Structures are given as C-alpha cells and as structure tokens.
A and B are shown apart, each in its own frame.
Chain A
Amino acid sequence: MFPDQQKFNDMTQYLYKYRFWILYALFSLTIIFSVQQEWINAYIQLVMMYIGINIILSSSLNIVNGYMGEFSCGHAGFVAVGAYVTSVLNVWLFVSDRVFGAPVVSENYALFLFPVTLLIGGIAAAFVGLLVAIPSFNTRGDYLAIITLAVNYIVKSAIENIQIIGGARGFMGMRKVVNAMHDLWDIPWMMIFTLVFTGLTVWIIWRFVSSTYGKGIIAVREDEIAAEIMSVNTQRMKMTAFMLSSGLAGVAGGLFAHVLGYINPGSFTIMKSTEVMVMVYLGGMGSLSGSVLSAILFTILLELLRPLQVIKWVVIPLMLILLMMFRPEGIMGDREIKDIFRKKS
C-alpha cells in the first residue's frame, strides 16, 4: 500500500505542477475536434485564430513595454517582416506562383516545413529587432519611441517598393500552401498551428520572465543605473528582450499571413502598432496573464462592436480612457492569475 501511495502522490504533484499546460492541451484538443466535426462555423474559427495571434502580439510587446518599461511603438514593423518572410518562403518553395514559378520542393513538405519557415520569419524579425536595439543603448524613453516609429515606417515603405513581392498590391498564395497541407491530411491545420504557437509563446515568455533575464529587465525598468551597478548586464538584457519580442511578433505575422491568405503593407501601419499597444496597457504592464486576457477581450470586443460601424472607434478609445482614469494599471496590473488564486498556505 505504501509504495503505491507514494507513486500516487508523485503523480498528482506532477499533474498539479503542470496543470496549466494540461488544461490547455485538453482545451486545444476539444477545439480541434469541434472544428473537425464542423460544429463551429468558419467565422468563429477566424475570430479564434485572431485571438491567438493577438495573444502572441500583446504578450510579446509586453516584454519590452511592460516588463522593461520602454516605449516601443513600432511593433507592426516586426510583424510585417515575419509575415512577408514566411509567406514568400512558403510560396516560393511549395506552390506554383506567377512570379516565383513552379514549386522548388514538393508541396507535400508544406506541412512539415511550415513550423520551420515560421521560425525563419521570426528570426528575420528578431534580426530587425536587433537593428532597433543597438541605437537604443544610447537613448531611452521617448527617443526609443521615435526609433521604433521610424522603423515601422521604413519597413512598410520598403515593402511597398519591392515590386517582386507585390509592393502595395499585396502578396497572395498562402491559401494554396494551406490547401497543400489539407491535401495531405484534412484536419484544421491553421487552427492547430495557431493553438500550438500561442501556447509556446506564452510558455517561452513565462520562462523568460521567471529567469534571471526577466528579473534583469524588471531591474532595468525600475532603475537602469542601479541595475548596472548591481552587475546586471543591461546591454545584453535589452538586446535579448528586444530580439525575443520582435521574433515572437514575426511568428505572429507568419500565422496572420496564412490565416488571412493575403497580406499587404497597409495592414502593418502605425494604427496596427497602436492596437497592440492598447492591448498591452489594457492588460497591465508587466503581467503576462493580463496581456492574454486583454487580447481575448479586445478581439471579441472588436468583432462584437462591428455593427456599430463608425461609432465603434469612438467607443473603444473612450472605454480605454475611462479605464486609464479609474484603473490605470489595467486589468491585472502587476499580478498574474496565480497571485489571485493563491493557495492558502
């Protein structure tokens, strides 16, 4: 009896420790099953995928704007880089396209290599993030805002000038890639990929924030000079934080491109950056669960208010201003969901 009891305790301890991920896995499986059985219509599926993408966007921006306390307002630029790199790679490799010609590799590989191209898009975006991080070592606060703003404009303008990927006309062909995946095995791949990468992102950020890096960037936010004195390598912290933030944004961009099937530079303007910033501040700077919650709320709110048409974009900023006045820390402030449901010990 005694050894079994021990094993049982170990198992329950294990399950409890990973309860979030187990719940998430169950949740994802339910969703995928429902979609496969066509219980959820395509519009709701689209909204759910948008929610996932927005979660990645807001939590990635939270690293820089929330935990590190900087003011980066050009997040859409990194999303654009990821979106275009992933899409161009996929279309070039896997499908026949008017510009790129016949597929380089058989389209059967689309399914397996999609995560790879997505990550390549993320790495490209992280590289651009590095280009932003380097000048930021000398400046802080409001000057960083300018740099990120300018980078956003530059990326958008650069894409508009590259005719081979369509320029202002936009780039299409991602739907063929998704169809290729479905040809192999007909399950809802984009939903699966979105769920997987959203979970991965949240996990990565959680680990990052709990590690010494996380503590380091919070120290930078509170008092950079003191942190430097306390032997925190602020340069390395900033660089890593920026690269992680922009890399994840790039991944979100790649997902966005394949969910929508069409991207054009007009989707990645300052307005989009502003929307992401709104989600971060709504959730609370420095709270990961806050960003997740606010992304969900914000996406649903946007869709619910669609019938309001013009008034929608008066109501949403108004609600945010009221929020800023009465609860400026956002929904979660500084805390995580864990802190609210704290076990009585």
Chain B
Amino acid sequence: MNQSKRLISIVFMLCMFLTPLLWAKQPVIKIGFNIPLTGDIPKVGEGSMYAAKMLEEQINESGGILVGEKKYLLKFIFEDNEAKAESATAVALKLITQDRVLGIIGPQASKQAIPAGEICDSYETPMISPWSTNPQTTENRPYVFRGCFLDPFQGPVAANFVTNEFKAKKAAVLYDIASDYPKGLAEFFKRAFEKIHGKGSVVAYETFTTKDRDFSAQLTNIIRSGADVLFTPQYYDEVPLIVKQAHELGWKKPIMGSDSWGSAELMNLCGNDCKGLFFSTHYAAAGAGGKTLRFINKYKAKYGYTPDDVAALTWDSTRLMIQAILNTKGLTGKDRKDRKAIKNQLAKIENFVGITGKMTFTPQGDPNKCAVVVRISDKGEFEFFMSVCP
C-alpha cells in the first residue's frame, strides 16, 4: 500500500514539474485586454471580448502567426476594469508587469483610457484604444494609439449634417455632465454649430447626471426654446428614455445622436420611438459588404446578435496590433525591445484596410478615418446614410 502511494505521488510530482516544460514548447504572443466586463457599460466589454475571442480562435486554428521565421500562437488575456479609473490603472499595471504582455487593447471608455494610457506610455508598452474618442487619450503619448475617429472631428460632422439635412438654424443639446465622453462631444458640437450659425444658436444646453431617469424638466426647457433639432450624445441605455420622454412631451422634430448610440441593444430598448432618427458612427451593419459582412455573419452565427461598433473596432484594433507584430519581422524575446519595435511598426502603418474603414496613423497616434451617418430604418436596422471623410 505504501509503495504504490509513494509511486503515485512521485509520478504526480514529475507530471507537475514537466507540464510547464510542455507549455514552454509552444511559443505564444500575449496580448492584454483592459475591458469593462462589470460596472456601468458591461455590454461594451462583452462585445470587445467576443470579437477578440473570435479573432484568437480564427488565427490559432490556422496555426498561429508567422513572425520572421518563428510560428507563434496567440494568447489573449482578458481583465475586467469594472469601468472604474483605479481598476483600469491596476489592470494595466498587472498586464504589463505580471502577465508581461506585448501590447494592450483597451480600455474602451475615455474615463479609463486616459489614466491607463498614462501607465502604458510610462512603461513603454504599446496600447490601442478601439473606442475612446477623447483627444487626451493619445495626446503626447507616443505609445498610445486609437482605432477610431476623435470627438473634435465627430462634433463638426454632426453639426454639418443637421445643418444640411434638416436645415436647422437653432439646436438644443442634452448631455450627461458627469461623464467625460458626452460632455466633450457636446462641447465640440456646440462650438462647431455656433461657428456655422453664430453665437447663441445653441438655444438650449441642458444637462443631467449619470443614472438619471427623468428628463422632463430639461426636455420641457428644450421644447420651449424653439430649437430645430436635438443633439444627444448618450449611451444606449439612456437614449431610449430621452427619446420616449421627448415624444411624450410633444417633441416632433429631428433627434441626432453620436457613436455611443451604435449598440446592438439600442433598438431592443427603444422600439418605435427611435425609428427615423440619425446618428454618426464608425460603421453601419446593414448594407455592409465584403469583409465587414463576413465579420457580421460570423459574429451573429457565434453569439446570436448583430455586432455593434465596439466589437467591430476591437476586431480592427487587435488586427492592427497583430499586423505591427508581423511587420517587426522577428521578436527577440526581450519585452522592452519587442514592445518598442511593435510601437515603431504601429506608427508606420499606412492604409490598413479594416472592417471599419481604411486607417493611417497620424503622428499623434490617431487614425485618419471616415465617419458614417446612419439612419435608423423603419425596420429598426442601422442603415448607411452617408459617409463623411476628413
């Protein structure tokens, strides 16, 4: 009895010691994902994770990627930043120093992307934020890039669109003052609109706080202001309430949104009230073709719903990172050197064809990309209306 027990434990211990060696046989490239799986915007984290997992499987099933002469498998490490700034920073540090990733994708929301970007830049690790539109994320940070257009570009797109399409001369804005993205975009819109129509043409500039449910007081002011259009750059869980209450209080004029509207959940929550409204975004699912359509079909088949813009942008950003790794033509195995090499390659990327458009990075780390204005059709689909390029 004792003999066999001892034998078993020896075999067991041998196995335990040998397995790491087995693992070590497979060279892997580790990429970290700093995403909000819990907290205020869990659907954003979910979309990012699903798209990335899809890409990881696709590449690993075909044997991995060939960098220089070595073949590597991909290993994506997903960490939850809880949509909080402190957690985003802790996660970034953990991925960089403990998990020793070569690059980080995310965070998505600017509130987490800005502080996490500071960490990545000081620790010289390349970071791509697929969804953050605030200029501060990449400003003066050579190691931080983004996968989408910026708010200073999106604001004028919206202002020009409402001027040309609805012939609007007076505008109203309703936004969340406690959240960075809507606040920034509201300001850019106001600036652009007043540049076209003169000071004071934004006749109502109303605010609320995150998690508010009742907008009747603000909407009452807006209706009485006589504006021709309402611009509300809010997230997919607030827009349905705003639009419904506006209609209840008698608002019949156009409502314009921004890229935060573009979630798959929006129509589930909004229903008929949102049909016929417009918003600016990164890509339009309905009416897409080619690579974009293949991505949409694959995602839908795997997860059961049409992917939103976060998923599409994460797909593109991850592929950008991988492309940069490929372009280094060989990794040394030393983290610092490799991260620097990848960052240099990222900065040099030109005319990368993504499913959200063609991308070339400016020296700031922002891509020159076109925006798409989407109309919510009577069937509740996001259909392509027009594209605006810089």
Contacts and interface: CB of A to CB of B under 8 A. Distances in A.
The answer to whether A and B touch in the complex, with CB atoms under 8 Å apart, is yes
Contacts of B115: 170, 172, 260-262
Contacts of B178: 160, 168, 265-266
A169 B85 CA distance: 11
Nearest to A264: B85
Given A42-B97, A169-B184, A261 B177 contact: no
Contacts of A2: none
A275 to B, nearest CB: 11
Given A170-B114, A266-B178, A309-B38, A46 B90 contact: yes
Given A42-B96, A43-B97, A167-B183, A309 B111 contact: no
Main secondary structure on B side of the interface with A: helix
A42 B114 CA distance: 19
A168 B179 CA distance: 6
B122 A43 contact: no
A41 interface: yes
A43 B91 CA distance: 8
A175 B184 CA distance: 23
A267 interface: yes
B86 A260 contact: yes
A309 B37 contact: yes
A263 B178 CA distance: 13
A310 interface: yes
B96 A260 contact: no
Interface in A240-265: 260-265
Given A168-B178, A168-B180, A260-B115, A43 B90 contact: yes
Contacts of A327: none
Q: Which of A50, A157, A263, A310 has the most CB of B within 10 A?
A: A310
Contacts of A50: 90
Interface in A154-172: 157, 160-161, 167-170, 172
Interface residues of A, number: 30
Main secondary structure on A side of the interface with B: helix
Interface string A29-70: 000000000000111101100100000000000000000000
A306 B80 contact: yes
B45 to A, nearest CB: 9
B118 interface: yes
Nearest to A166: B180
A154 to B, nearest CB: 13
Given A266-B111, A267-B84, A260 B180 contact: no
Contacts of A186: none
A43 B89 contact: no
Interface string B4-35: 00000000000000000000000000000000
B180 A262 contact: no
Contacts of A169: 136, 180, 183-184
A262 B85 contact: yes
B177 A160 contact: yes
B233 to A, nearest CB: 14
A303 interface: yes
Given A43-B97, A261-B119, 11 more contacts: A43-B93, A46-B90, A157-B209, A168-B180, A168-B183, A169-B136, A175-B118, A262-B85, A264-B180, A266-B85, A267-B84
